[in-house]
Amino acid sequence: MRTQVCIIGAGPAGLLLGARLAKAGVDAVILERMSGDYVLGRIRAGVLEQTTTDLLRELGVHARLDKEGIPHQGFSLSFNNRLLRIDMHKLTAGQQVTVYGQTEVTRDLMQHRSAQGLLTVYEASEVALHALDSKAPYVTYKQDGRAQRLDADFICGCDGYHGVSRKSIPRDQIREYEKIYPFGWLGVLADVPPVAHELIYANHARGFALCSQRSHTRSRYYLQCGLDDKVENWPDEMFWQELKKRLPEDVAAQLVTGASIEKSIAPLRSFVSEPMRYGRLFLAGDAAHIVPPTGAKGLNLAASDVRYLSDALIAYYQGRHQEIEHYAERCLARVWRAVRFSWWFTNLMHQFPDADAISHPLQLAELDYLANSEAAQRVLAENYVGLPFDFGGNG
Ligand code: APR
Ligand code: PHB
Protein backbone atom coordinates (compact mmCIF):
# COMPACT_ATOMS: atom_id res chain seq x y z
CA MET A 1 0.00 0.00 0.00
CA ARG A 2 1.16 3.56 -0.63
CA THR A 3 0.05 6.91 0.81
CA GLN A 4 1.45 10.42 1.01
CA VAL A 5 1.57 10.64 4.81
CA CYS A 6 1.59 7.70 7.21
CA ILE A 7 0.39 8.69 10.68
CA ILE A 8 1.23 6.43 13.62
CA GLY A 9 -1.36 6.65 16.42
CA ALA A 10 -5.07 7.51 16.46
CA GLY A 11 -5.07 9.67 19.60
CA PRO A 12 -6.11 13.31 19.30
CA ALA A 13 -2.83 14.31 17.59
CA GLY A 14 -3.05 11.65 14.85
CA LEU A 15 -6.77 12.14 14.25
CA LEU A 16 -6.49 15.93 14.07
CA LEU A 17 -3.55 15.68 11.70
CA GLY A 18 -5.43 13.23 9.48
CA ALA A 19 -8.44 15.55 9.37
CA ARG A 20 -6.38 18.67 8.50
CA LEU A 21 -4.51 16.84 5.75
CA ALA A 22 -7.69 15.33 4.27
CA LYS A 23 -9.33 18.75 4.15
CA ALA A 24 -6.41 20.00 2.03
CA GLY A 25 -6.52 16.95 -0.25
CA VAL A 26 -3.41 15.24 1.15
CA ASP A 27 -3.73 11.45 1.51
CA ALA A 28 -3.00 9.93 4.89
CA VAL A 29 -3.42 6.52 6.50
CA ILE A 30 -3.46 6.12 10.30
CA LEU A 31 -2.02 3.01 11.96
CA GLU A 32 -3.23 2.47 15.53
CA ARG A 33 -2.04 -0.30 17.82
CA MET A 34 -5.22 -0.59 19.87
CA SER A 35 -8.93 -0.90 19.02
CA GLY A 36 -11.11 2.20 18.62
CA ASP A 37 -13.05 1.28 21.77
CA TYR A 38 -9.86 1.01 23.79
CA VAL A 39 -8.73 4.47 22.63
CA LEU A 40 -12.12 5.88 23.65
CA GLY A 41 -11.90 4.27 27.07
CA ARG A 42 -9.07 6.57 28.19
CA ILE A 43 -10.15 9.45 30.42
CA ARG A 44 -7.97 12.51 30.03
CA ALA A 45 -8.16 16.25 30.76
CA GLY A 46 -11.03 18.39 29.58
CA VAL A 47 -10.10 22.03 29.03
CA LEU A 48 -9.75 23.28 25.44
CA GLU A 49 -7.96 26.49 24.52
CA GLN A 50 -9.65 28.75 22.03
CA THR A 51 -7.00 27.86 19.44
CA THR A 52 -7.98 24.19 19.84
CA THR A 53 -11.71 24.83 19.46
CA ASP A 54 -10.94 27.08 16.44
CA LEU A 55 -9.08 24.16 14.87
CA LEU A 56 -12.05 21.83 15.41
CA ARG A 57 -14.41 24.45 14.07
CA GLU A 58 -12.32 24.95 10.87
CA LEU A 59 -12.59 21.20 10.33
CA GLY A 60 -16.36 21.25 10.81
CA VAL A 61 -16.04 18.98 13.86
CA HIS A 62 -17.93 21.22 16.25
CA ALA A 63 -21.62 20.24 16.35
CA ARG A 64 -21.40 18.43 19.70
CA LEU A 65 -18.72 20.78 21.01
CA ASP A 66 -21.09 23.71 20.48
CA LYS A 67 -23.95 21.86 22.12
CA GLU A 68 -22.19 20.23 25.05
CA GLY A 69 -18.98 22.24 25.56
CA ILE A 70 -19.16 24.69 28.46
CA PRO A 71 -17.40 28.05 27.98
CA HIS A 72 -15.45 29.18 31.04
CA GLN A 73 -14.32 32.75 31.50
CA GLY A 74 -12.51 32.26 34.78
CA PHE A 75 -11.18 29.76 37.29
CA SER A 76 -10.17 29.95 40.95
CA LEU A 77 -7.12 29.27 43.02
CA SER A 78 -7.80 28.14 46.58
CA PHE A 79 -5.37 28.73 49.45
CA ASN A 80 -5.57 29.78 53.10
CA ASN A 81 -9.24 28.77 53.23
CA ARG A 82 -10.21 31.30 50.52
CA LEU A 83 -10.78 31.50 46.77
CA LEU A 84 -9.02 33.82 44.36
CA ARG A 85 -10.87 34.11 41.05
CA ILE A 86 -8.77 34.63 37.92
CA ASP A 87 -10.96 36.46 35.44
CA MET A 88 -9.43 35.10 32.22
CA HIS A 89 -11.91 36.88 30.05
CA LYS A 90 -11.18 40.33 31.48
CA LEU A 91 -7.43 39.80 31.76
CA THR A 92 -6.96 38.53 28.19
CA ALA A 93 -9.24 40.88 26.26
CA GLY A 94 -12.13 38.49 25.87
CA GLN A 95 -10.59 35.03 25.62
CA GLN A 96 -12.05 31.95 27.26
CA VAL A 97 -11.60 28.17 27.43
CA THR A 98 -14.14 25.41 26.81
CA VAL A 99 -14.72 22.48 29.13
CA TYR A 100 -15.19 19.45 26.88
CA GLY A 101 -13.58 16.08 27.56
CA GLN A 102 -10.65 14.91 25.46
CA THR A 103 -12.43 11.58 25.09
CA GLU A 104 -15.29 13.42 23.37
CA VAL A 105 -12.88 15.27 21.06
CA THR A 106 -11.41 11.89 20.09
CA ARG A 107 -14.87 10.39 19.53
CA ASP A 108 -15.93 13.33 17.32
CA LEU A 109 -12.73 13.10 15.25
CA MET A 110 -13.12 9.32 14.83
CA GLN A 111 -16.68 9.76 13.61
CA HIS A 112 -15.62 12.52 11.24
CA ARG A 113 -12.90 10.27 9.85
CA SER A 114 -15.15 7.31 9.25
CA ALA A 115 -17.92 9.52 7.78
CA GLN A 116 -15.36 10.69 5.20
CA GLY A 117 -14.30 7.13 4.43
CA LEU A 118 -10.70 7.78 5.51
CA LEU A 119 -8.59 4.76 6.42
CA THR A 120 -7.55 4.01 9.98
CA VAL A 121 -6.02 0.58 10.55
CA TYR A 122 -6.88 -0.37 14.14
CA GLU A 123 -5.09 -3.18 16.00
CA ALA A 124 -2.02 -2.78 13.82
CA SER A 125 0.67 -4.70 15.71
CA GLU A 126 4.48 -4.69 15.48
CA VAL A 127 4.55 -1.30 13.78
CA ALA A 128 8.15 -0.60 12.68
CA LEU A 129 9.57 2.44 10.89
CA HIS A 130 12.18 2.10 8.13
CA ALA A 131 14.46 4.21 5.91
CA LEU A 132 13.59 7.39 7.79
CA ASP A 133 16.67 9.22 6.56
CA SER A 134 15.86 8.45 2.91
CA LYS A 135 13.29 9.93 0.53
CA ALA A 136 11.36 6.67 0.57
CA PRO A 137 10.47 5.84 4.17
CA TYR A 138 8.07 2.98 4.90
CA VAL A 139 6.32 1.27 7.75
CA THR A 140 5.79 -2.42 8.34
CA TYR A 141 3.14 -3.86 10.64
CA LYS A 142 0.88 -6.84 11.16
CA GLN A 143 -2.86 -6.83 10.64
CA ASP A 144 -4.81 -9.96 11.61
CA GLY A 145 -1.47 -11.73 11.87
CA ARG A 146 -0.49 -10.89 8.26
CA ALA A 147 2.61 -8.81 7.44
CA GLN A 148 1.89 -5.48 5.70
CA ARG A 149 3.96 -2.66 4.27
CA LEU A 150 2.95 0.99 3.84
CA ASP A 151 5.14 3.30 1.74
CA ALA A 152 4.86 7.06 2.26
CA ASP A 153 6.52 10.39 1.53
CA PHE A 154 6.47 11.28 5.22
CA ILE A 155 5.82 9.51 8.52
CA CYS A 156 4.23 11.37 11.41
CA GLY A 157 4.77 9.92 14.87
CA CYS A 158 1.61 10.73 16.87
CA ASP A 159 1.88 7.61 18.99
CA GLY A 160 2.24 9.11 22.44
CA TYR A 161 5.00 8.86 25.02
CA HIS A 162 5.29 5.06 24.85
CA GLY A 163 5.05 4.84 21.06
CA VAL A 164 7.53 3.41 18.60
CA SER A 165 8.24 6.59 16.59
CA ARG A 166 10.51 8.51 18.94
CA LYS A 167 12.30 5.28 19.81
CA SER A 168 13.10 4.77 16.10
CA ILE A 169 15.34 7.85 16.06
CA PRO A 170 19.05 7.04 16.59
CA ARG A 171 20.00 8.04 20.16
CA ASP A 172 22.75 10.38 18.98
CA GLN A 173 20.24 12.35 16.90
CA ILE A 174 17.93 13.25 19.74
CA ARG A 175 18.17 15.04 23.07
CA GLU A 176 15.67 14.37 25.84
CA TYR A 177 14.88 16.50 28.88
CA GLU A 178 12.84 14.99 31.67
CA LYS A 179 11.55 15.77 35.14
CA ILE A 180 9.51 13.25 37.10
CA TYR A 181 7.50 14.77 39.95
CA PRO A 182 7.51 12.96 43.32
CA PHE A 183 3.70 12.55 43.44
CA GLY A 184 0.73 11.51 41.32
CA TRP A 185 -2.86 12.61 40.71
CA LEU A 186 -5.69 10.41 41.89
CA GLY A 187 -8.67 11.18 39.67
CA VAL A 188 -12.34 10.40 40.26
CA LEU A 189 -15.18 10.77 37.77
CA ALA A 190 -18.68 10.86 39.28
CA ASP A 191 -22.18 11.68 38.13
CA VAL A 192 -22.70 14.46 40.62
CA PRO A 193 -23.10 18.18 39.85
CA PRO A 194 -19.80 20.10 40.03
CA VAL A 195 -19.10 21.84 43.34
CA ALA A 196 -18.70 25.17 41.52
CA HIS A 197 -19.43 26.61 38.08
CA GLU A 198 -15.73 27.07 37.40
CA LEU A 199 -12.61 25.01 38.07
CA ILE A 200 -10.85 25.29 41.43
CA TYR A 201 -7.11 24.55 41.80
CA ALA A 202 -6.35 24.15 45.50
CA ASN A 203 -3.04 24.61 47.28
CA HIS A 204 -3.31 22.95 50.70
CA ALA A 205 -0.79 21.75 53.27
CA ARG A 206 -2.27 18.22 52.87
CA GLY A 207 -1.62 18.36 49.12
CA PHE A 208 -3.06 19.73 45.90
CA ALA A 209 -6.68 19.22 44.83
CA LEU A 210 -8.57 20.10 41.66
CA CYS A 211 -12.32 20.44 41.15
CA SER A 212 -13.13 20.04 37.46
CA GLN A 213 -16.13 18.89 35.48
CA ARG A 214 -17.33 17.31 32.28
CA SER A 215 -20.90 18.64 32.26
CA HIS A 216 -23.46 20.15 34.62
CA THR A 217 -24.11 16.68 35.98
CA ARG A 218 -20.68 15.04 35.78
CA SER A 219 -17.68 16.05 37.89
CA ARG A 220 -14.00 15.28 37.69
CA TYR A 221 -11.96 15.67 40.87
CA TYR A 222 -8.29 15.09 41.60
CA LEU A 223 -6.16 14.73 44.72
CA GLN A 224 -2.38 14.82 44.88
CA CYS A 225 -1.32 11.37 46.10
CA GLY A 226 1.86 9.40 46.69
CA LEU A 227 3.74 7.92 43.74
CA ASP A 228 3.25 4.40 45.11
CA ASP A 229 -0.36 4.93 46.11
CA LYS A 230 -2.97 2.49 44.78
CA VAL A 231 -6.56 3.11 43.73
CA GLU A 232 -7.60 0.31 46.13
CA ASN A 233 -6.32 2.44 49.03
CA TRP A 234 -8.91 5.07 48.19
CA PRO A 235 -12.51 3.94 48.68
CA ASP A 236 -14.96 6.64 47.51
CA GLU A 237 -15.82 7.80 51.03
CA MET A 238 -12.16 8.40 51.87
CA PHE A 239 -11.63 10.31 48.63
CA TRP A 240 -14.53 12.69 49.37
CA GLN A 241 -13.42 13.22 52.98
CA GLU A 242 -9.90 14.10 51.88
CA LEU A 243 -11.13 16.40 49.10
CA LYS A 244 -13.28 18.33 51.59
CA LYS A 245 -10.27 18.85 53.84
CA ARG A 246 -8.30 20.45 51.00
CA LEU A 247 -10.99 22.94 49.97
CA PRO A 248 -12.18 26.16 51.67
CA GLU A 249 -14.88 25.28 54.22
CA ASP A 250 -17.69 27.07 52.38
CA VAL A 251 -16.81 25.23 49.16
CA ALA A 252 -16.50 21.86 50.93
CA ALA A 253 -19.96 22.40 52.39
CA GLN A 254 -21.38 22.55 48.84
CA LEU A 255 -19.70 19.32 47.67
CA VAL A 256 -22.13 16.72 46.37
CA THR A 257 -20.64 13.23 46.65
CA GLY A 258 -21.65 9.97 44.99
CA ALA A 259 -20.35 6.69 43.61
CA SER A 260 -17.29 7.01 41.39
CA ILE A 261 -17.59 5.75 37.82
CA GLU A 262 -13.85 5.88 37.18
CA LYS A 263 -10.86 6.13 39.47
CA SER A 264 -7.23 6.17 38.38
CA ILE A 265 -3.78 7.39 39.35
CA ALA A 266 -1.55 9.24 36.89
CA PRO A 267 2.12 10.15 37.33
CA LEU A 268 3.30 13.68 36.55
CA ARG A 269 6.15 14.37 34.18
CA SER A 270 7.70 17.20 32.18
CA PHE A 271 9.46 15.85 29.10
CA VAL A 272 10.72 17.30 25.83
CA SER A 273 12.60 15.55 23.07
CA GLU A 274 14.49 17.68 20.57
CA PRO A 275 14.33 18.07 17.66
CA MET A 276 10.83 16.86 16.75
CA ARG A 277 12.15 15.47 13.50
CA TYR A 278 14.52 12.92 12.07
CA GLY A 279 14.80 12.78 8.28
CA ARG A 280 11.29 12.13 6.97
CA LEU A 281 9.85 11.37 10.42
CA PHE A 282 8.07 14.18 12.29
CA LEU A 283 6.86 13.86 15.88
CA ALA A 284 3.74 15.55 17.26
CA GLY A 285 1.90 15.49 20.60
CA ASP A 286 2.86 13.24 23.51
CA ALA A 287 5.35 11.39 21.28
CA ALA A 288 7.58 14.46 21.57
CA HIS A 289 6.63 16.06 24.87
CA ILE A 290 4.70 15.55 28.09
CA VAL A 291 3.49 18.17 30.52
CA PRO A 292 2.06 17.61 34.00
CA PRO A 293 -1.74 18.06 33.85
CA THR A 294 -1.78 21.24 35.98
CA GLY A 295 -3.24 23.72 33.50
CA ALA A 296 -4.45 21.06 31.04
CA LYS A 297 -1.95 21.83 28.29
CA GLY A 298 -1.39 18.26 26.96
CA LEU A 299 -4.13 18.06 24.35
CA ASN A 300 -3.85 21.74 23.48
CA LEU A 301 -0.16 21.37 22.81
CA ALA A 302 -0.81 18.33 20.62
CA ALA A 303 -3.33 20.43 18.67
CA SER A 304 -0.87 23.26 18.18
CA ASP A 305 1.84 20.83 16.97
CA VAL A 306 -0.67 19.52 14.47
CA ARG A 307 -1.43 23.00 13.23
CA TYR A 308 2.25 23.69 12.53
CA LEU A 309 2.84 20.22 11.05
CA SER A 310 -0.22 20.07 8.82
CA ASP A 311 0.44 23.59 7.50
CA ALA A 312 4.03 22.61 6.64
CA LEU A 313 3.03 19.33 4.96
CA ILE A 314 0.24 21.00 2.98
CA ALA A 315 2.73 23.69 1.88
CA TYR A 316 5.06 20.90 0.74
CA TYR A 317 2.39 19.41 -1.51
CA GLN A 318 1.67 22.87 -2.88
CA GLY A 319 5.29 23.13 -3.95
CA ARG A 320 6.65 25.14 -0.97
CA HIS A 321 9.18 22.58 0.20
CA GLN A 322 11.01 24.75 2.69
CA GLU A 323 8.30 25.08 5.35
CA ILE A 324 8.69 21.56 6.61
CA GLU A 325 12.33 22.39 7.42
CA HIS A 326 11.13 24.89 10.04
CA TYR A 327 8.49 22.71 11.68
CA ALA A 328 10.58 21.44 14.59
CA GLU A 329 12.01 24.83 15.50
CA ARG A 330 8.68 26.70 15.30
CA CYS A 331 6.86 24.04 17.20
CA LEU A 332 9.43 23.69 19.95
CA ALA A 333 9.35 27.39 20.79
CA ARG A 334 5.65 27.08 21.71
CA VAL A 335 6.18 23.67 23.34
CA TRP A 336 8.81 25.06 25.74
CA ARG A 337 6.50 27.91 26.74
CA ALA A 338 3.74 25.48 27.68
CA VAL A 339 6.22 23.15 29.42
CA ARG A 340 7.44 26.10 31.46
CA PHE A 341 3.91 27.17 32.41
CA SER A 342 2.82 23.66 33.44
CA TRP A 343 6.00 23.25 35.50
CA TRP A 344 5.50 26.62 37.20
CA PHE A 345 1.82 25.96 37.97
CA THR A 346 2.67 22.48 39.29
CA ASN A 347 5.36 23.91 41.57
CA LEU A 348 3.07 26.63 42.87
CA MET A 349 0.18 24.31 43.76
CA HIS A 350 1.66 20.99 45.03
CA GLN A 351 3.35 19.92 48.25
CA PHE A 352 6.71 18.31 47.49
CA PRO A 353 7.52 15.48 49.94
CA ASP A 354 11.20 16.48 50.12
CA ALA A 355 10.55 20.23 50.42
CA ASP A 356 12.17 22.28 53.17
CA ALA A 357 10.13 24.26 55.72
CA ILE A 358 10.26 27.50 53.73
CA SER A 359 8.63 26.06 50.59
CA HIS A 360 4.97 26.23 51.59
CA PRO A 361 5.15 29.78 53.03
CA LEU A 362 6.87 30.82 49.79
CA GLN A 363 4.03 29.33 47.74
CA LEU A 364 1.52 31.20 49.91
CA ALA A 365 3.50 34.42 49.43
CA GLU A 366 3.35 33.95 45.67
CA LEU A 367 -0.40 33.27 45.82
CA ASP A 368 -0.84 36.36 47.98
CA TYR A 369 1.14 38.34 45.39
CA LEU A 370 -1.16 36.99 42.67
CA ALA A 371 -4.16 38.07 44.71
CA ASN A 372 -2.84 41.61 44.87
CA SER A 373 -1.29 42.11 41.45
CA GLU A 374 -3.29 42.35 38.26
CA ALA A 375 -0.05 42.03 36.31
CA ALA A 376 0.68 38.66 37.95
CA GLN A 377 -2.88 37.50 37.30
CA ARG A 378 -2.58 38.49 33.64
CA VAL A 379 0.56 36.35 33.26
CA LEU A 380 -1.34 33.37 34.64
CA ALA A 381 -4.46 34.08 32.57
CA GLU A 382 -2.67 34.54 29.24
CA ASN A 383 -0.81 31.27 29.70
CA TYR A 384 -3.95 29.43 30.81
CA VAL A 385 -6.05 30.48 27.81
CA GLY A 386 -3.12 29.57 25.55
CA LEU A 387 -0.32 31.68 24.15
CA PRO A 388 -0.75 32.98 20.60
CA PHE A 389 0.79 31.14 17.66
CA ASP A 390 2.54 34.21 16.34
CA PHE A 391 4.31 34.91 19.63
CA GLY A 392 7.61 35.49 17.87
CA GLY A 393 10.80 33.41 17.82
CA ASN A 394 12.77 32.50 20.92
CA GLY A 395 16.07 33.88 19.73
N1 APR B 1 1.82 1.68 16.96
C2 APR B 1 0.64 2.29 16.66
N3 APR B 1 -0.02 3.09 17.53
C4 APR B 1 0.55 3.30 18.72
C5 APR B 1 1.80 2.73 19.07
C6 APR B 1 2.43 1.89 18.14
N7 APR B 1 3.60 1.31 18.42
N8 APR B 1 2.11 3.13 20.32
C9 APR B 1 1.11 3.92 20.74
N10 APR B 1 0.16 4.03 19.78
C11 APR B 1 -1.12 4.78 19.85
C12 APR B 1 -1.77 4.70 21.21
O13 APR B 1 -2.54 3.49 21.37
C14 APR B 1 -2.65 5.94 21.21
O15 APR B 1 -3.94 5.69 20.71
O16 APR B 1 -0.87 6.15 19.66
C17 APR B 1 -1.91 6.91 20.29
C18 APR B 1 -1.31 8.08 21.02
O19 APR B 1 -2.34 8.85 21.58
P20 APR B 1 -2.15 9.74 22.90
O21 APR B 1 -1.34 9.01 23.90
O22 APR B 1 -3.51 10.20 23.30
O23 APR B 1 -1.24 10.98 22.41
P24 APR B 1 -1.57 12.27 21.51
O25 APR B 1 -2.47 11.93 20.38
O26 APR B 1 -0.25 12.92 21.28
O27 APR B 1 -2.45 13.17 22.46
C28 APR B 1 -1.93 14.10 23.32
O29 APR B 1 -3.63 13.27 24.66
O30 APR B 1 -2.60 11.43 25.53
C31 APR B 1 -3.13 12.65 25.83
O32 APR B 1 -2.07 13.56 27.75
C33 APR B 1 -2.09 13.52 26.37
O34 APR B 1 -3.49 15.27 26.46
C35 APR B 1 -2.45 14.76 25.73
C36 APR B 1 -2.91 14.39 24.37
C1 PHB C 1 -9.80 17.66 33.88
O2 PHB C 1 -10.94 18.10 33.81
O3 PHB C 1 -9.55 16.45 33.79
C4 PHB C 1 -8.69 18.63 34.08
C5 PHB C 1 -8.97 19.98 34.09
C6 PHB C 1 -7.95 20.90 34.29
C7 PHB C 1 -6.67 20.45 34.49
C8 PHB C 1 -6.38 19.10 34.45
C9 PHB C 1 -7.39 18.18 34.26
O10 PHB C 1 -5.68 21.35 34.70
Catalytic, 221? Answer no
pLDDT at 43: 76
Distance CA 382, CA 73 (A): 12
Distance CA 49, CA 382 (A): 11
Task: Answer whether 61 contacts ligand 1 (Cβ < 6 A).
Answer: no
Q: Is it the case that residue 107 has pLDDT exceeding 90?
A: yes
- Span 322-339, average pLDDT: 94
Banded model confidence at residue 388, pLDDT cuts 50, 70, 90 = confident
pLDDT at 56: 97
Ligand 2: residue of 100, 105, 210 to mutate (most ligand atoms within 8 A of CB) is 210
- Span 88-99, average pLDDT: 96
Q: What is the pLDDT of residues 194-235, one digit of tens each?
A: 999 999 999 999 999 999 999 999 999 999 999 999 999 999
- Span 353-360, average pLDDT: 95
Q: How many CB atoms lie within 10 A of CB 301?
A: 28
Query: Which residue of the set 204, 289, 297, 350 is catalytic?
Result: 297
Banded model confidence at residue 389, pLDDT cuts 50, 70, 90 = confident
| Whole-number average pLDDT of the chain | 96
Q: Is it the case that residue 390 has pLDDT exceeding 80?
A: no
Q: Is it the case that residue 395 has pLDDT exceeding 70?
A: no
Ligand 2: residue of 199, 215, 344, 384 to mutate (most ligand atoms within 8 A of CB) is 199
Q: Are 148 and 233 in contact (CB under 8 A)?
A: no
Share above pLDDT 90 across residues of the chain, in percent, rounded to a whole number: 95
Banded model confidence at residue 393, pLDDT cuts 50, 70, 90 = low
